[in-house]
Amino acid sequence: MNNLMLIFLMPQSPDQSPVPSFVFLLLIIVVFYFFMIRPQMKKQKDLKSYRENLNKGDKVVTTGGIYGKLLDIKDQTVTVEIADNVRIKIDKNAILKDNTDLASQK
């Protein structure tokens, strides 16, 4: 990144316009936005929507890699059954995946 900045900060001859350098910089910013920032924002929006639409009985995976089934859903927490009569209470933000992701891993 430092080398790129040096190219833009290099003194230019009086007959050379600085416009191409700025256009190139803007092009790099646009490419970063469409290939890195925008897909990440879409992914976060989809995950937020999924967490808001959780239902009892859904199979989920947590950030810690725990597979389970939802038993109870509250505003910020959910109760997940991970084995027979083994229940844990976790934050909604710890849920990563849904049942469709589980089927594709097998």
For 32-69, the pLDDT digits (tens) are: 999 999 999 999 999 999 999 999 999 999 988 899 99
Q: What is the pTM for the complete model shown? A: 0.64
For 4-38, the pLDDT digits (tens) are: 666 666 665 666 777 888 889 999 999 999 999 99
The CA–CA distances, whole Å, from 25 to 1, 7, 80, 86 equal 12, 10, 49, 55
Mean pLDDT, to the nearest integer, of 84-92? 94
Sign of the C-alpha dihedral, residues 88, 69, 79, 64? positive
CATH 2.60.40.10 fits 55-105, yes or no: no
Residue 105 dihedral angles phi and psi, to the nearest 5°: -80, -20
- Residue 18 has a pLDDT of 77
The residues spanned by each domain of the chain are: 19-53, 55-105
List the Cα angle 52/58/64 in 5-degree steps. Answer: 80
